[in-house]
Structure formats: C-alpha cells, structure tokens
Chain A
Amino acid sequence: METHAYDVLVIGAGISGMQAALDLADKGYRVLVVERQASIGGTMVRLDKTFPTNDCAICIAAPKMVELARHPNITLLTSAQVEQVRGSAGSFEALIWRQTTYVDPAKCTGCGDCARACPVEVADLFNGRLSTRKAIFLQFPQAVPAVYTIDYRHCVGCGACDRACATGAIAFLQRARPLTVTVGSIVVATGFEVLEPTTLRKEYGYGRFANVLTALQYERLLSASGPTGGTLTRPSDGQPPARVAWIQCVGSRSLQGGYPYCSKICCMYATKEALITLEHAPATRATIFYMDLRAYGKEFQQFYRRAADHGVRYIRSRPAEVSENPDQSLTVSYEDTLTGTVHSETFDLLVLSTAIVPAPENRRLARALGVAVDAHGFFEPRDPLRDPLQSSRDGIFLAGGAAGPNDIADSVARASGAAARAVIPLSGRQRVTLADPLPERELAAAEPRTGVFVCSCGKNIGGFVDVPTVAAYARELPGVAFVEACTFACSEDAQRRIKAAVEANNLTRVVVAACSPITHGPLFQQTCAEVGLNPGLFEMANIRNQCSWVHSHDRRPATAKAADLVRMAVARAGQLAPLPAQHLAVTPTCLVIGGGVAGMTAAMTLADMGIDVSLVEREPALGGKLNTLATLAPGDIPASELREQLVRGVLQRPRIRLFLGAELRELSGHIGNFRAVLDEGVGGAVSALQVGAIIVATGFREADLRGRYGYGADPRVITQLELERRLRAGTLGAPRTVVMINCAGSLDAENPGCCRIGCSVAVKNAMALHRAAPGVSIFMLYQDMRVYGSGQEEYFTRMLDAVGPYRIRYDGGRPPQVTVQDRRVVVAVYDTLLREELVIEADLVVLTAALHGDADTPRLKQLLKVATDSQGFYREAHAKIRPLDFATDGIYLCGADHYPRNIPDTIAQATGAASRAAIPLLRGRVSVEPIIAEVLAERCSGCGICLPHCPYGAMSLDPARGVVAIAEVQCKGCGTCVAACPSGALQQRGFTDGQLLAMIESAWEGPGHE
C-alpha cells in the first residue's frame, strides 16, 4: 500500500475546506484534500447567488476551486473517503479509500463525447433530481477536476463510452485502492445537507406534489446553469409560476416534526430567492411564510427590507398544510397571525426552507476520526463557547458547516480559524519554500504574435453568439497568429490546450474571449505564467456577460458586438508589456489592536504559530466587554472566568508584548513593513514598532440612547450592558416587573441594521434575572425573536419554560413608549399578536441597545486607511469570501468591530484573522501590486497637482530631483493620479494611455467605419 506524507489533511472541499486548504498551503504546508464527491465545491456551487450581496455563487467559488487545484502545495483526492485515523496530534496516520471512477484522469480531456454516447439517463442529484444526466458524467460544467466519472451504480456496462472516447480514458479495470497518509493535523470541513422532508412535515406534500421543492432545488431552478437554463418554470408543466411561496422553518425550530435548532441561514436565502424571483419576473407574487424573520447578519436586515420594498410579501405564520389542486397548483392553509384570520391561498410553486442537517455519514466519519458528534450528528466542539474550532480530539479541528449551520462568510472565517489551529501541532516542521517566479519566454519578436481563444461556454455564449464567425473574424485581425474556439475555456483541459498553442505557435500575447476578467482573469494569467508568458501579456474580451447574456434575443448584433470586443482586446494586446513581479521582505511580527476576546485570541494564536505579537489595549486592563458582562451564554459561564483564562494565556506567552493603556498614534508603511507609533498616554512611553501585519480587534459599544425610551431620565431605565454590570456586582435589587425592549435604536431609518446578538442577550439576561430575583415578571418586547448562534434556540426555549416571560411582539413603526408618571415607570406597547394596547408598570426597563463600532473608529480608520459603514463597523474586502481581510493588504479584522457577534464567533474569527495575517508573516515576503503607477521623470514638472489625488499617500515630491516619487508597495493601482497629471508624466502599468486608447480607437475601427 502506498504511504505519503503531508502536513495537514482537510476532509471535505466545499468553500470551507477550500479556504482552509488554501490558507495552509499559502503558508507553505503540504495539504491533502479528500473530497467524497467527484468535484470539489460543495453546496456553494449549487447556489444561484449569495445573500446579501447577490454575488453569483459559482463566479466567486470557481476561482478558488481552480486555485486549489493548481496550488503546488495541495494534493486533491476526489471520490475518496477517510476510513480510519490512528496516532495523535502531530503524527496521525490516516487510511483513505479512493473509489474507482473508471476513468483515467490523466487521459480524460473532459470533452463529454462519452456522455453523449451513454444510453443511461439517471436523475441528476446536482440539480436536485430536476433533470437527468448520464451514467458517465461531469457534476457541473465548472467541475474541478474536469474529469468524467462513471457512476457505477447506474452504469450498465455497455461500453458505449469506451467506444466514444477518443483518448482511451475509460478504464473499466481500474480498481478502488486504499492509501495511507501521515499528517500532523486534520481539518474537518464536511459541511451539511438539507433535509428532504419526506418523513417529517409530510403535510407540506414534498415528494408527492410536483411543484413543492426544497430551497436547494429552487436554487438550481434559478441558476443559469441549472436544469432550465435559468428560466423560472414550474416542474409540473414548464409554465412560469405566477405565485411562488416559501415556507420557513420546515423541520427547524421544531420539538416535534423536526429538529429543535434554528438553521440560521434559511430566512436569508428565502429572501434572496424571492428577490431574485422578482428580478426574473417582476410580476410574480412572492410570499414568505415565517415565524421570526432572522435577518441578523451584516446588511441582512437591509436586504430583507429591500425585498419587502420590492414587493415580497411576508406573512407571519407557520402554515398548517398543503393540498394539491387538479391543475397541480397548491393550496396552503395558514393563519395570518397578525390579523388572526385563517386563509386558504393558492400558489403555483412552493419552496420549503428545510432544515440544515448533518450528512448521515458524519457519524461514520466521526467514528473513524475518533471525535464526538452532537445529538443530531454535527461535529461537536470540545467547548462550544470557548473553543468552537477544537473537536473533541486534539489535532482535529472543525471548519464551516461541519459543526452546524453557517453562511458562507462565517464558514470561510471558521475555515481560516481551523487552518490557524491546524498549524500549531506542526511546529518544527519544515515548510515548503516559495517557488521562484516561473521563467519567462523571450519576447524577441518585434511584432506581437497574439493567440485568441474564443469560448462558447457550452451554450452560454455559443447559444447566442455565432462563435465560429467571431473566431474567423479574429483570424483576420492584425497581429493575430493563432485562433481557437473552445467549449469551456476555463476547463482544466483548455488550460493544457492554451499552453500547447503558445508553445507551438510561439505566441507572445494571449486573448481569451469568454467571460469576465474579474472572475476568470487570474486563472488564465496563471496559465500564461506556466508557459512563460508574463501575466501582463494577457487580455480578456467579456463576450459572455457583455454580449451573449445581455443581447440574447438577437444573434446578429450580439455577434457583431462580440467581434468588436475581440478586436478591441486584440488592439490592446498589441500594446501590452510585461508587468514586473516584485517582492518585498516582510518583518515577521504582527500588531494587534484591541485586547478584548478577539484581540487576545488573535494574539495567542499568532504566538502559537511562532510569530511575535504586539498587543495594544487602550484601557488599563485586558478583557474588553468581559470586564462588564456577568455570565455568558451558552453555558452560563461567568465572564470573569473566561477573562481570567484568556488573560492568563496572554501573559504566559513570551511572544506577546503587551501595551496597556496605549493607543496607535501614527501608522505608515505597508504590508510587510508597517511602522506604528504607540502612545501610552500621559506619563507613558511612546514606542515605535516595525510590524509586517496588523489585526484590528477594537470591538463595539452600545448606542447612546439618551432622550429615547426614557433613557437618561430615570435610573430605572438601563441598557443590557448596565444590567450585566448590576448582575455581576450583585446590585440588582429585587425588581418585580422588568420590561426588556429589544431593537432599541436598531431596525429604524437612522440605523437600519439588526444588532444580531441583542435577542440572545435578552434571552440570557431573562434567565439571569429569573435567577437573581426569583418570581420576577419579565416582559420581552421584540419585533422578531432573532436568537442567533448554535444552541441558542434551545436555550431560548429552555428560558421560556423556566422563566415564562411575557413576550410582546411590537411593530417597528409603532415602538413602545416609556414614560415616567408620578414616579412610576410605565411602558405602553401595542401587541401585534394580541392586537391589544398594553400598559405595563415596570420596576426596571432594560433596553437592548443598538450596537456600533468603537467610538475611536473614525480616527483609527483614517490612520489605517480602511473603510467603515455608517454604524462604524469596519468594511471587509469581500462580504462573502474575504470576511477577515481589509481591502488594504496586510490589515485584517475580527470580532465585534466587523459586526456584533457572540463569543464563539468572535473566537473563530479572531483565530481566522490570525491565520490570514500569518500568511505573509510565515511566507516571509509579499508581492507588489503589478498594476501600479509609475513616473516618467523626464516629463514630470514637479507641479504636485497629482499628490492630493492619491488616496493612499503613496506619492511624494522628491525635493532633490524636483519630481514626483511613488512608494511602490503603497500604490494600489487606481490610476487616479495618472488622469490628474497635466503633463502625461504618469502612467499606470497595465492601464497605460496607449493601451486604453488602442481600445477606444478600435471600438468602431475609426470614423471611416459606417
């Protein structure tokens, strides 16, 4: 049996597994990725778009898939399972069973001839059984690896594929083989599945009625690459549905008929699906039946409002049942709980937002790994509050959805976190050193020799644009030496062909006419680099997003425009020049700003990876909110206990240098080499530090509610944080009636966001009040009960049982009124469920105040040159796939300064931020942005007009030479300065005037073209 050695084993290659593997591989560790399916990608690649940004899911996932497949430090095993793991952290031995696919991956070109020949049609699981595929198949067009697989359960062994395959890739004699590997640590990223409600919630008719779908099936129905090519039709008759409804919590939040937990993402994906439905067909009536609409992430509430404003109808109700009519429409019976009336309403299509459940195989895998799963089958952290990424066995870590429902951003953050933890048992291992840049070809030829590859993207382009005509036209263009039409230019196979064409024809420029350079540019640039062409010599023409998809009704203009875009790209290609790759050495230390849970966790994680850290806390003591909070949910652990544990951990690590009572005063430099000046305040020292990366963990604060809800007017009106302080100090007294008002200062015009943790905090504190003042009556005034996080729904229902609070659902448009009337505090509120105005006399009113970023954020953001939103929370580089990075390289964020979050999420994120920051620090060098601006000194008059245009302060006037100078690592390549220069002394690499004008001038082939 073969045995191979790696550093880390990653199990599962959805977005989490991919992120964990890339984070590790980028640090120089050798990673083995084991994926049970034929392609990597997981759930995300089956989605249409992603909330709340509505990014196209495959567009943002595909580049990561390709990056993973090509990473020199990653070995990918698909159609494989982990059978057994022996050993301990630092030296595990894993037995892996690789299923046979009966196709030789080395020979298969992904052409699909075999599938066309195969006579067996089977239900396509990727498309939720809404279409069929063959017994030999590719999971989806962008599959990685792009190799066909025989589904042996359905193959009849007829051999048709074998006869059709020109490369002889079919290998019926291939045998499954076991493989043993040694690794130091393991990341479990096996994600989750969605419930198919055929045994529970049968009254909704799933599996019996053709037009009742799960949300995942509906994603396929919306998807452009789905079974209907993105036209929204109902399965029974192919007609567009005029009325579509979603039922929430199908199998979730159910003590009976399902699972007790909240699946956390379905309120948002239903909202997203409804919104996209309206985009597809604005006249559709979209209705969502919900109990509590949990729109609690960053920008989620705004997204929900947008859907409501676009006409998505939200009905607060959990429908009773669904019946089918003779025309296969569906009648839903429900009570609108806000009016108290029972209705039967008919819809054409019904989507069930079914529970997120663990894969049934989790239990088997858990046995093989020797780790614990919870009652449902999700992998269980050893300590869910304090150590959410650590499984029950040392050296094995949990990423993404494997431990419970998580959206993409949280999955990615957790994956980075797990990657950081996975590094720790590897201490002392030799890392793979960074490969030198690939050798570049000689570009001796004076005339550019351009190769043009025109992609038909299956039917995505080919269906609307005459690709052969475009290719033939390209052949006639000046400088074009080679043209090829390809079916899927981004496939693995096409990369091989591009490289071969460059070699064979001695090409010096490559133009790919396909989709967007944003999503696919880097892939082709990498291909070019592999064949010795500098990435700067590559250009793309976006004939899919700009032609075929948007001019689908008329082939002629679409084709003409595609030809124009190719001509423009070729013209620009002629002007292209290599973009030099530059690297800078990195100071391998990190600055962490903020000493709360997030900052301390990040610092400790970095120290454990062997990195020196400077931890700066403004206050005289570490701990952040832990210095104020009483007990923590889940688990009712005293906050002081966690604080002591973390502080002890920080003090025990000699790599952490602590600056208390200190603030960042000045910052200059860039990734790899920042210079930070810390000021310890009056009487304290001023220190200058040299660091390679910065993690920002400055936390959050409660909004100032003075003047609202009677706050500030009477000491009996306090906030949750103040309540925590009283509970902690034991100064609560004995209130008999407590009114909690949730969403105080949230969900309104001024602050449209949802504070995400407020409902859970209120629930925890109701329990705490009940303990501290037995017999107290608690009124909870809420809009939607949005308890957030793993175990929280269960905690909420335990609280209901123990405390029996009076829950009053109020409407945001009619908020509760708090008044002080002859020394009594009175709360008046309209209960939308009772439909009564209630007047409550309270001994204590607790406001669940809106949360904002730290008060000092406006100053810090200027220093760091990063962006925030209107509530003072920092803005990440990409809401879905780069949640821990700032757009500015070398600076990372985590914890509640990004958005309010609970402690488990904060810890996961902080660990993840440490992973991100450790990449340049461990790697030891960073690359400079290749498209920076440069100064043509001979033309620069030193006028300085450009200087104020640079948002990054990258420009300065060189007093000696009287010309402008640009600090290369600081330049982000926006080109603003270039347009500002009156003497044409600035140029932007990759976007020179010459390159851009070449395109402009060829857009219509000059004025003579008519």
Chain B
Amino acid sequence: MQLAYYPGCTIKASARQHEQAALAILRALGVELREMAEWNCCGVVHTLTSANLIRHMAPVRVLARLRQQGAHEVVTLCDMCFNTLARANLLARQQPEQFAAISASTDSELRYDGDASVLHLLQVLRDRVGLAALRARVRRPLRELRVYPYYGCKLLRPSTVGIDDPEIPTLLRDLLEALGATVIEGHLQTRCCGAYQAVDQPELVAERVTATAAQARAGGAEAIVLSCPLCHFNFDTLQPRNGAPLPVFYYTQVIGLAFGLEPEELGLETRQIDQLPPLRQRDRAQAKGGAA
C-alpha cells in the first residue's frame, strides 16, 4: 500500500519521534508513505469566522498541491493538521461559493474543488490495514502494560470530520487491546487538554492534564497513550512536577514496541523506557527466556 503523506511543521520539529515510529511500524506492515512535495503549513487551526476566509488559504493550498501531484488522498500524523485540513476540505465541498472567492484571490493553478480526502493514520490502521493484521504482526504482546488512551479533541470533534464517536470513542482502546495491553478508561479521555493555551495561559493546561493524569493513575494506568503532538507536549511538560508524572507515548511507539521493534527505531529515549517498569521487567524476562 502506498499513500501520500502530509507531515506538517510540528512533526518535523518537536514530534519527530512520532514520525520515526510511524514510518517504522508502517514499514513493518508493508505500507509506504510518500511525503508530498512542496507542502506548506496547514494553518494549524480552522478559522471560525466568516471574516477570515483568507486563513483557509493554507489548507486549501495543501490540498490543491496534492491534487496537482496526482493524489486523491493524503495521510496525516498530526491531529491538528488532520483537523484543519479535513475541515477546510469539508468547507470546500459544502460551500464552494466561499471557495470561489478564495480561489479568485490566488494563483489560478491552485484551484481546488474538494475532491481529495484527508486521512488520519489511525484511520488507515483501523480501516485499511485492519486491527486483525495489526494483531497478527505483534511479536511482544504488551501483556503487563496498563495504559490510558487519551483522545483529546481534534481526532473526534467536530463530529463532521471526527474519526470516531465524539462521546464514546473506542478506536484507541481497540488498537491497544489488539496489542495485548490492558486499557484503563475514564470520561476525561475526550476532554480538551488546553491545547495552545500552553503558550500564555499554561495554568489552564496544567489543571487539565493534572486531572486527566489523576484519573488515569486512579484507574491504575502506568502510561498515557495519545496521538496529538500538542497533547503530547502538554502532558509531557505540564503535569505537576511533584510526584512522578505519568509517561506519555504516541500510539505509534506503543505499536512499535508490540511489534518488537527496538526503542531506538521508535524515537524512544532511555528516560521513557525507564518510566515503564513493566516493560523493562518484561524485556528482561524475555531476554532470559530467550537465553534459556
């Protein structure tokens, strides 16, 4: 399977591990991602007023380029990129007249009429690869790992573009269970982490990630697994410093571990592996077992 791939700025900056892990597991699954040429920033947030149409330019340009390059669908890793591209795409389909206005103000070769589709890697794994194939590829089931999947906002909402039920999503649970992990759930899984407020109102974010991590911990989770690089940043940096914060992993990294890939291939730092005692123990046990 070959798919066009839109990385976005953050994947290339603070979330390189995510891309590294994604590419590694996809290789293992026989999926090839081909990075688009000449991509630009997606625009990051969908513009919510009618006065800022120009801000839809960035995502539309990405989609127009994609079509120019002959592709009909594009995979994203970053939840923000996914959400922004998908919503712009929806708008292009539903309100073409608005887009006519935008197009008119841009270079004519960048016409776009909404005929591409935007995919999130999780959709590819669930709907194209299939959880059965994923399960079949597992080499080191994460039996002793107790994880709390965190969805955040952009995967789910608005439901017009979300990839799972906005209230009771099951995608990450199904995926993690396919890897053999024990899944801990709670109603804060879908609650916003505070997103970009980390920039100048970090107290809002801190309150959220603290509450969510507390729920995960109360349920017995040892790690949080998520998808969005901004959620990752927020959980990684804004959990209270006192007491051991719960470690945070991208789902790609966890899949990689279950596939038996090496931590280095998955962009996992030693610090993170140390944060997962059961993983370490199991590694040791397996190492012993393997030796025997």
**A/B: CB atoms within 8 Å of each other:** yes
Query: Which residues of A are interface residues toward B (Cβ below 8 A)?
Result: 202-203, 208, 321, 323
A321 to B186, CA, bound (A): 12
| B163-212 residues at the A interface, CB under 8 angstroms | 165, 167-168, 186-187
> Could you list 7 further interchain pairs (A-B, Cβ under 8 angstroms) beyond the known A208-B168, A321-B167?
A202-B165, A202-B167, A202-B168, A203-B167, A203-B168, A321-B187, A323-B186
Interface residues on B, range: under 10
Q: How far is the CB of B219 from chain A (nearest CB, A)?
A: 9
A323 to B186, CA, bound (A): 8
Q: How far is the CB of B188 from chain A (nearest CB, A)?
A: 9
A921 to B287, CA, bound (A): 96
Q: How far is the CB of B211 from chain A (nearest CB, A)?
A: 12
A323 close to B187 (CB less than 8 A)? yes
| B153-167 residues at the A interface, CB under 8 angstroms | 165, 167
A323 to B189, CA, bound (A): 12
B191's nearest neighbour on chain A, judged by CB, is A321
A208 to B186, CA, bound (A): 12
Q: How far is the CB of B158 from chain A (nearest CB, A)?
A: 10
Q: How far is the CB of A832 from chain B (nearest CB, A)?
A: 30
- Chain A hits for B165, CB < 8 A: 202
Please provide the 8 A-B residue pairs with the shortest distance between their CB atoms, ordered closest to farther: A323-B187, A202-B167, A203-B167, A202-B168, A321-B187, A202-B165, A208-B168, A323-B186
- Chain A hits for B168, CB < 8 A: 202-203, 208
A200's nearest neighbour on chain B, judged by CB, is B167
Q: How far is the CB of B175 from chain A (nearest CB, A)?
A: 20
A323 to B191, CA, bound (A): 13
- Chain B hits for A323, CB < 8 A: 186-187
- Chain A hits for B186, CB < 8 A: 323
A324's nearest neighbour on chain B, judged by CB, is B187
- Chain B hits for A202, CB < 8 A: 165, 167-168
Contact code string B246-287 (vs A, CB < 8 Å = 1, else 0): 000000000000000000000000000000000000000000
Q: How far is the CB of A198 from chain B (nearest CB, A)?
A: 10
Q: How far is the CB of A715 from chain B (nearest CB, A)?
A: 45
Q: How far is the CB of A673 from chain B (nearest CB, A)?
A: 66
A203's nearest neighbour on chain B, judged by CB, is B167
A202 to B159, CA, bound (A): 14
A415 to B186, CA, bound (A): 48
A202's nearest neighbour on chain B, judged by CB, is B167
A199's nearest neighbour on chain B, judged by CB, is B165
- Chain B hits for A208, CB < 8 A: 168
- Chain B hits for A321, CB < 8 A: 167, 187
Q: Give 10 A-B contacts (CB < 8 Å), ordered by A residue.
A: A202-B165, A202-B167, A202-B168, A203-B167, A203-B168, A208-B168, A321-B167, A321-B187, A323-B186, A323-B187
A323 to B167, CA, bound (A): 12
Give the secondary structure class of A's interface: mixed
A138 to B35, CA, bound (A): 66
Q: How far is the CB of B217 from chain A (nearest CB, A)?
A: 14
B186's nearest neighbour on chain A, judged by CB, is A323
A323 to B168, CA, bound (A): 12
- Chain A hits for B167, CB < 8 A: 202-203, 321
Q: How far is the CB of A247 from chain B (nearest CB, A)?
A: 15
A208 to B165, CA, bound (A): 15
A331's nearest neighbour on chain B, judged by CB, is B187
Q: How far is the CB of B64 from chain A (nearest CB, A)?
A: 32
Q: How far is the CB of B151 from chain A (nearest CB, A)?
A: 14
Contact code string B141-158 (vs A, CB < 8 Å = 1, else 0): 000000000000000000
A5 to B267, CA, bound (A): 81
A203 to B157, CA, bound (A): 14
A202 to B169, CA, bound (A): 10
- Chain A hits for B187, CB < 8 A: 321, 323
A203 to B168, CA, bound (A): 7
Q: How far is the CB of B244 from chain A (nearest CB, A)?
A: 23
Q: How far is the CB of A563 from chain B (nearest CB, A)?
A: 58
Q: How far is the CB of B81 from chain A (nearest CB, A)?
A: 26
A203 to B187, CA, bound (A): 9
Q: How far is the CB of A399 from chain B (nearest CB, A)?
A: 37
Q: How far is the CB of B218 from chain A (nearest CB, A)?
A: 9
Q: How far is the CB of A137 from chain B (nearest CB, A)?
A: 33
A203 to B156, CA, bound (A): 14
A202 to B168, CA, bound (A): 7
A203 to B186, CA, bound (A): 12
A208 to B173, CA, bound (A): 15
A323 to B187, CA, bound (A): 6
A321 to B189, CA, bound (A): 13
A326's nearest neighbour on chain B, judged by CB, is B218
A625 to B168, CA, bound (A): 52
A321 to B191, CA, bound (A): 11
Q: How far is the CB of A330 from chain B (nearest CB, A)?
A: 11
Q: How far is the CB of A431 from chain B (nearest CB, A)?
A: 58
Q: How far is the CB of A33 from chain B (nearest CB, A)?
A: 42
Q: How far is the CB of A209 from chain B (nearest CB, A)?
A: 11
Q: How far is the CB of B157 from chain A (nearest CB, A)?
A: 12
Q: How far is the CB of B198 from chain A (nearest CB, A)?
A: 24
Q: How far is the CB of B212 from chain A (nearest CB, A)?
A: 13
Q: How far is the CB of A777 from chain B (nearest CB, A)?
A: 25
A656 to B167, CA, bound (A): 61
- Chain B hits for A203, CB < 8 A: 167-168
A771 to B186, CA, bound (A): 51
A238 to B168, CA, bound (A): 27
A831 to B187, CA, bound (A): 35
A344 to B127, CA, bound (A): 38
Q: How far is the CB of A201 from chain B (nearest CB, A)?
A: 8
A534 to B60, CA, bound (A): 88
Q: How far is the CB of B150 from chain A (nearest CB, A)?
A: 16
A208 to B168, CA, bound (A): 10
B187's nearest neighbour on chain A, judged by CB, is A323
A321's nearest neighbour on chain B, judged by CB, is B187
Contact code string B87-131 (vs A, CB < 8 Å = 1, else 0): 000000000000000000000000000000000000000000000
Q: How far is the CB of A583 from chain B (nearest CB, A)?
A: 65
A381 to B210, CA, bound (A): 56
Q: How far is the CB of A914 from chain B (nearest CB, A)?
A: 50
A492 to B187, CA, bound (A): 52
A198 to B244, CA, bound (A): 38
A208 to B169, CA, bound (A): 13
Q: How far is the CB of A161 from chain B (nearest CB, A)?
A: 40
Q: How far is the CB of B192 from chain A (nearest CB, A)?
A: 13
Q: How far is the CB of B90 from chain A (nearest CB, A)?
A: 16
A208's nearest neighbour on chain B, judged by CB, is B168
Q: How far is the CB of B204 from chain A (nearest CB, A)?
A: 16
A323 to B211, CA, bound (A): 14
A589 to B165, CA, bound (A): 63
Q: How far is the CB of B185 from chain A (nearest CB, A)?
A: 10
Q: How far is the CB of B53 from chain A (nearest CB, A)?
A: 24
| B225-261 residues at the A interface, CB under 8 angstroms | none
A765 to B165, CA, bound (A): 41
Q: How far is the CB of A321 from chain B (nearest CB, A)?
A: 7
Q: How far is the CB of B221 from chain A (nearest CB, A)?
A: 15
Q: How far is the CB of A787 from chain B (nearest CB, A)?
A: 28
A202 to B165, CA, bound (A): 9
Q: How far is the CB of B200 from chain A (nearest CB, A)?
A: 24
A938 to B10, CA, bound (A): 111
Q: How far is the CB of B190 from chain A (nearest CB, A)?
A: 9
A321 to B168, CA, bound (A): 11
A306 to B165, CA, bound (A): 41
A208 to B185, CA, bound (A): 12
A183 to B186, CA, bound (A): 58
A333's nearest neighbour on chain B, judged by CB, is B187
A358 to B15, CA, bound (A): 50
A257's nearest neighbour on chain B, judged by CB, is B167
A198 to B282, CA, bound (A): 39
Q: How far is the CB of A757 from chain B (nearest CB, A)?
A: 37
Q: How far is the CB of B82 from chain A (nearest CB, A)?
A: 22
Q: How far is the CB of B8 from chain A (nearest CB, A)?
A: 30
Q: How far is the CB of A195 from chain B (nearest CB, A)?
A: 16
Contact code string B45-62 (vs A, CB < 8 Å = 1, else 0): 000000000000000000
Q: How far is the CB of A612 from chain B (nearest CB, A)?
A: 62
